Chain A
Amino acid sequence: MPDFLSDSFGFIYDRVFEIYSENFQTPVFQYFFDSGFYVMLGMIFIFVPLLLMAAFYYFCKYPYGKWWHWLLWFFIIIIVVFGWTFGYANTFILNSNEQEMITCNGVQECSDYIKGLPLEYAKANAILSLFVSFIGSLILKRFSKIQTHLPF
């Protein structure tokens, strides 16, 4: 994975959402950075909303769409991103083969911290997808044939 992607997404999660603890730079965050975990999280909050919004604008043939249909879809996207991120992070962290990270070198505080991370990343991605969905929506609607009038 290109480092700049890991850097960029890592910055968002580590600094903007402050899901970072210096205490666990190793074995946790350094491993996240090296394994492309951040990039994958970034892909989820960017592409899942964009793909689902594109589906709404380009594949939905229902011609009587109202603003609340769009809003409903918007929330569905957020829930999907939240669920997907949580599932992915959970699997990545807890099912990882990286023994050093999983065992946290035997530090109980570290183990507890790691178990809480999937929820934190899911919340962060849900918020990020909210922005991506909205901005993506404003761009995609211009090229839609049936839903171009949504959300406004």
Chain B
Amino acid sequence: MAKLYIFGIGGTGSRVLKALTMLFASGIKLDNNFDTVVPIIIDPDVANGDLNRTKNILKLYGEIREKINQPNDFYQQKIQSVSNILNNGSANTNPFELQIKGTSDNTFQQYLDFGTMSSVQSDATKADQEFVKLLYSNENLEANLNIGFKGNPNMGSVVLNQIINSSDFTNFCQSFQVGDAIFIINSIFGGTGAAGFPLLLKNLRGNTNIPNAAYINPSIIGDITYLPYFTLAKPNDGYKTVNPNTFDEKAKIALEYYNRTIINQNEINFIYFIGNKGNTNAETYAEGNSAQKNNAHFLELAGALAIIDFCKNLSLSDQNTIVKEFGIENDKTNSITFEDLNSADTELISQPLTKFKIYTEYLSKGLNKSLNVSRWTKSKIKLVPNTKQSLLDDNFFSSQEFGLIKNFNEHFTLWCKEMEINQPSFSPFNNIIADNIFEIRKNKKPKGNKSCRDIDSENCRMTDDIELRKNSTTMLIKMFSKSIEKTAKKKEII
């Protein structure tokens, strides 16, 4: 059994991790015996909306999964933080984050000790100060680091070089074992990701002073680099520090650098490139902080697929870097559905995502009809032994335990919705009500009854199944996974 460490750098890193978590929730699992995924988010912008949303989703995933006895479909992939692996999880308040020293409430010039340089009025230090000013503008120097690098990789390259000095990075190294692999997610057109990837890779590959360097340096490493795939809407007072018109130029420069120093040097085993031009969505302008909460995008789902592909094809790795790109079968600007993906991706995600979507839609729209009516929601049935009473009664559905599930499902629904309204739109599902839940999947007409009735019937049949009756969450998750699979197959929508 091996672990896959995934470094998500910057806002894009967080959003791809979110997409991957949604795929795991739907039952997708990594190949090649990767039993545990260890997300590590690197983002100095600690208040970033995307980062916090992803952290919340990862936390919810872990809490739900912990309650499921031997998950074998929904939530089957284990996600753990480094601190959990080292059994000091309770001590870490931000378990999935790699904290960078000196970035909280410091300006960039404070971080560089720029002021100290100027306190000694010698010619040499003045020269240092002038040299720094050649490399960084006044806006750069005065920028507050706790909202990230605002699209400036030249700042990020200095700050992120300190990653290895953090205790979180040391913990990561200590938890690393033979057979584990590493995957890095970064964008090339922003600040944090573009700068963070080469620095992180340099340390992982070449730094012999880190703990477990003998395992980490030669390990298999993959990366997905995002080329520009969205733009920013122009605010009324014009663009400030982050200008989307520079995205392409930054990407070209970084690509040239990556090609020279990483790909040609075979520093990495797999590198995936992904981007989109021409029909991109314009996100609301934000310079980090909680305002930076971009809508989920189809390309982030594609990034998550790259991670799955990486684990599947690990054995193909050799001396040379393998470069991959992502494409779809039908070039559509609007409404990409499962059928527009290549057949392998369709096969991989269509069934699990459809099942999970039915499950979330059922719990939000179909439950009212069965709650306290259907046998599978009743626990005080007279003249029936306890082994036949449901564990999923109205007490459960109003409990905190179910609150976690509901909360996660809301994130999933929002994730689907955001991908649908984004450009290009990924829209494999129809909007449904409880009475036509099986019409959920576009291009697939269900056979027979379209309502939730058959799911409820199957749930009733499974209520006494001893394998499901470990606890309420286990029963809910496993029962729905089975009942939806059976009914959806019967209706030929998966």
Known contacts A64-B369, A66-B373, A142-B384; decide if A149 and B456 are in contact (CB<8 Å): no
Q: How far is the CA of A152 from the CA of B378 in the complex (A)?
A: 11
Known contacts A63-B457, A63-B459, A64-B369; decide if A146 and B375 are in contact (CB<8 Å): yes
Taking a contact as CB atoms closer than 8 A, the residue among B370, B384, B453, B456 that contacts A141 in the complex is B384
Taking a contact as CB atoms closer than 8 A, the residue among B373, B384, B453, B456 that contacts A148 in the complex is B384
Q: Are A63 and B384 in contact (CB under 8 A)?
A: no
Contacts of B384 in A (CB 8 A): 141-142, 148-149
Contacts of A64 in B (CB 8 A): 369-370, 373-374, 453, 456
A125 within 8 A of B: no
Q: Are B461 and A145 in contact (CB under 8 A)?
A: yes
* Chain A 122-152 near chain B by CB (<8 Å), digits 1 or 0: 0000000000000000100110011111001
Known contacts A145-B464, A146-B457; decide if A63 and B383 are in contact (CB<8 Å): no
Q: Are B457 and A149 in contact (CB under 8 A)?
A: no
Q: Are A142 and B388 in contact (CB under 8 A)?
A: yes
Give the Cβ gap from B296 to chain A, nearest Cβ, in Å.
34
Chain B, residue nearest A144 (CB): B375
Q: Are B382 and A147 in contact (CB under 8 A)?
A: no
* Chain A 58-69 near chain B by CB (<8 Å), digits 1 or 0: 000111111000
Chain A, residue nearest B461 (CB): A145
Known contacts A63-B370, A66-B373, A141-B383; decide if A149 and B378 are in contact (CB<8 Å): yes
Contacts of B369 in A (CB 8 A): 64
Give the Cβ gap from A70 to chain B, nearest Cβ, in Å.
12
Chain A, residue nearest B374 (CB): A63
**Interface residues in B, total, Cβ within 8 A:** 21
Contact residues of A: prevailing secondary structure? loop
Q: Are A63 and B375 in contact (CB under 8 A)?
A: yes
Q: Are A145 and B370 in contact (CB under 8 A)?
A: no
Which residues A40-92 have CB closer than 8 A to chain B?
A: 61-66
Give the Cβ gap from A49 to chain B, nearest Cβ, in Å.
18
Q: Are B375 and A149 in contact (CB under 8 A)?
A: yes
Give the Cβ gap from B475 to chain A, nearest Cβ, in Å.
15
Q: Are B381 and A149 in contact (CB under 8 A)?
A: yes
Give the Cβ gap from A50 to chain B, nearest Cβ, in Å.
17
Contacts of B456 in A (CB 8 A): 63-64
Contacts of B383 in A (CB 8 A): 138, 141-142
Most buried by B among A66, A138, A147, A148: A148
Q: How far is the CA of A148 from the CA of B461 in the complex (A)?
A: 10
A-B contact sample (7 more), CB < 8 A, given A64-B373, A138-B383, A149-B375: A63-B374, A64-B374, A64-B456, A142-B384, A147-B375, A148-B375, A148-B388
B: residues with CB less than 8 A from A are 369-370, 373-376, 378, 381-385, 388, 453, 456-457, 459-461, 463-464
17 inter-chain pairs at a CB distance below 8 angstroms, sorted by A residue, are: A63-B374, A63-B456, A63-B457, A64-B369, A64-B373, A65-B373, A141-B383, A142-B383, A142-B384, A142-B388, A146-B375, A146-B460, A146-B461, A147-B375, A148-B375, A149-B378, A149-B384
